[in-house]
Structure 1
């Protein structure tokens, strides 16, 4: 029983930062129209909203910077220090947004400060998701690595659901005028509670060999240089495989709500309800499929997932375009199932490509570059494809291409899953 409680504490310590990260993501997106009015007032509501989402997108550009900075700290000074810094970098800006004066109070300084806070959050995101994934990989028993690391994404999806729920409660309980003046701050203030809790959990976790791993035995001076010099194939494989991660997740769970409203003619309420329900199913599938990957190996599930996306991409979008809501649910569930098959073992498989002394840096760069280039831009690309081709099913081809790329890379990827530790290259 004591060992079980200890393992649960480790998983919570690893996932709490991702919950906060994606909580903020959901809150900001849900409240974007109000934030646009408070910080980017304009004669055109569309211009204000574009500026608001532009600040949101700027955070994605900071992800590679965060991956370099926090990856360097994790590989040089230890995982514990990097995990504490990353959760603080997320919690403090989220909390300050709740207190930030609006454009009406301090003028142009308001959107500037909001942008700075979002950039700091983006830097945190660049190291949090990958750093916590490596942490869970390193503390997990060899026979439970995929299962343990899959909880990183469980924490992220739970954060989205929690953020959407808190924002929905706030908008439902607070009168419209009060919501526009001060009520929008409540969900961000709640983020302070999550941040403090996460920092305390990580601070109280001992940095010994049974809890948070210490720094690698022989840290290299410049981890990013070491990765570029000795691990380019692993880095390129990680980048290629995470293209499907970004395109698949953002199309399936971020863009589809808009797609269902604009092209399937569902009401916004019904589209959000379907999306939320499918996300819950997806979240529950992740640890189950992670456990299966530990039994049969990560390669079969990665091939099933990427191949399934390639084969089912077009039929699934055809179902999503169907007027019957039952068919729509079936279409999104089919995408969620094959995507879960791919993402549940992906983290452990990619992490295993790098030796301990550069593991966080290598995986962080390989994850954040494609997420910045293909993840945050997926809704924009999907909209552009529909506009240029005049085909409402055009996003399916983008998704299929990402699936084919991942399938080919995984097919030729060298296996490390049977090794106790990935092979290490001597430190410089």
Structure 2
């Protein structure tokens, strides 16, 4: 039984990793894509257009999240996961083989926008569907640990994407990169899509989902009821997701572009430092998830959030005062430790707020609304604010997201089953003491 559960978790996380690599690689190559598909006389305008298109993909995430989330509740997590990776394959192929603006003019950026909309639609259903699948497969006392592998997979996707982007930037001349080298990371993503399809086709649906569906005569009504009765939980889950998504897109996705364009640091070196920081996160996330099974989700979540709240702004000012790769490495190390501690318990903490039938729909609403509003356009916003107002804008933006997350965690239900048992045992013992 335990081996079967592990196989399900590994399969789901591998597919999740491939999915996120395909979505995020665009952000790592934003400066190159800006030149080829959004050529403008002003380089900042060109970059803002490219980053804006990165954000456009997030406009479709709530739509994709709700539709695919409902599909996953109605027809099963496995069916939804297969649908998602199929759509992503189509979107990545459009980018990988898209003619540039020099070849087809205005049609080039339009093609990129359409592909990003498709990617946003697919990714909108990914987190909730795959997380629900993993949490429902996990043993009751290990849901924090098993759920944490979801963010481990996303971090591995960031590591893979930043490493590939760093490699093409380092080993290719600017002429080669702009000519055809930029397509290689997307083609790699396209080649691994069939692997994800094969992995997910071998998954079995979880018994807990099948049992929940069998217990109701009208699954549509039950899904609707769960969502309607979970408005408070959706809002709080959205709040926690605001802090997570602000952290990802400010600290992990935007930092290489930020330090290169604003502080003059080498892009290849910045991407390498990013890879080191993400590797640190990958070690901490499972430990953090495991600790949440023993001590509760909320104490671990609060620890990570407080680290970010207290260090974000001082660290950005520290790097801005004397830009260097050493200072950048220190900043990324500290921030990524805080993010990793927060990430570990998050999948379990959010998914356990909802009933099984209606879970993916509710999670999709919370997750994708937060990501659309505070994540997708974060690189665009902080790039514009850094130019117009303050170079430390990313630090302020990150602090805002963290404060929202702290408020959400303080008001969420504690869902660690071991903590419940400890409280139950205390209640049973106390009368005889």
Write the distance in 1 (CA, Å) between the matches of 2:412 and 2:267. Answer: 42
How far off is 1:137 after superposition?
0.5
More moved, 273-282 vs 235-244? 273-282
**Corresponding position: 1:121 with 2:119:** yes
- Provide closer, same or farther for how the CA distance between residues 314 and 96 of structure 1 changes in structure 2, counting only shifts above 3 A: closer
Write the distance in 2 (CA, Å) between the matches of 1:150 and 1:401. Answer: 24
**Corresponding position: 1:271 with 2:284:** no
Aligned residues: 417
Contact 2:247-2:398 at 8 Å conserved across structures: yes
Unaligned runs of 5+ in 1: 422-428
- Provide closer, same or farther for how the CA distance between residues 111 and 321 of structure 1 changes in structure 2, counting only shifts above 3 A: closer
Write the distance in 2 (CA, Å) between the matches of 1:365 and 1:261. Answer: 35
Write the distance in 1 (CA, Å) between the matches of 2:38 and 2:335. Answer: 36
**Corresponding position: 1:216 with 2:213:** yes
How far off is 1:387 after superposition?
5.2
How far off is 1:410 after superposition?
1.5
How far off is 1:369 after superposition?
0.5
Partner of 2:249: 250
Q: Secondary structure at the match of 1:357?
A: coil
Contact 2:162-2:271 at 8 Å conserved across structures: no
- Provide closer, same or farther for how the CA distance between residues 306 and 85 of structure 1 changes in structure 2, counting only shifts above 3 A: same
Partner of 1:189: 187
Alignment map for 1:23-422 (pairs within 5 Å): 23-42=21-40, 46-173=44-171, 176-207=174-205, 209=207, 216-217=213-214, 218=216, 220-221=219-220, 225-261=224-260, 266-323=265-322, 325-386=325-386, 390=390, 392-418=391-417
- Provide closer, same or farther for how the CA distance between residues 102 and 384 of structure 1 changes in structure 2, counting only shifts above 3 A: closer
Contact 1:317-1:393 at 8 Å conserved across structures: yes
After superposition, give the CA deviation of every residue in 1:93-112 in whole Å (9 maximum; x if it has no partner). Answer: 21232233444554544433
More moved, 229-238 vs 300-309? 300-309
More moved, 281-290 vs 100-109? 100-109
Cα RMSD of the aligned pairs, angstroms, is 2.9
Write the distance in 2 (CA, Å) between the matches of 1:82 and 1:308. Answer: 36
How far off is 1:342 after superposition?
1.2
- Provide closer, same or farther for how the CA distance between residues 148 and 107 of structure 1 changes in structure 2, counting only shifts above 3 A: same
Scaled by the length of structure 2, what TM-score is found? 0.86
Write the distance in 2 (CA, Å) between the matches of 1:335 and 1:376. Answer: 20
Q: Secondary structure at the match of 1:415?
A: coil
After superposition, give the CA deviation of every residue in 1:25-55 in whole Å (9 maximum; x if it has no partner). Answer: 4432333344344444555555444433332
How far off is 1:132 after superposition?
0.6
Contact 1:75-1:215 at 8 Å conserved across structures: no
How far off is 1:314 after superposition?
2.9
- Provide closer, same or farther for how the CA distance between residues 222 and 101 of structure 1 changes in structure 2, counting only shifts above 3 A: farther
Write the distance in 1 (CA, Å) between the matches of 2:396 and 2:348. Answer: 28
Partner of 2:430: none
- Provide closer, same or farther for how the CA distance between residues 41 and 411 of structure 1 changes in structure 2, counting only shifts above 3 A: closer
Write the distance in 1 (CA, Å) between the matches of 2:178 and 2:325. Answer: 33
Contact 1:78-1:216 at 8 Å conserved across structures: no
Q: Secondary structure at the match of 1:207?
A: coil
How far off is 1:7 after superposition?
4.1
How far off is 1:172 after superposition?
4.6
Contact 1:75-1:360 at 8 Å conserved across structures: yes
Structure of greater relative contact order (alpha carbons < 8 Å, 6+ residues apart): 2
More moved, 166-175 vs 11-20? 166-175
Write the distance in 1 (CA, Å) between the matches of 2:260 and 2:281. Answer: 21
Q: Secondary structure at the match of 1:349?
A: helix
How far off is 1:15 after superposition?
1.7
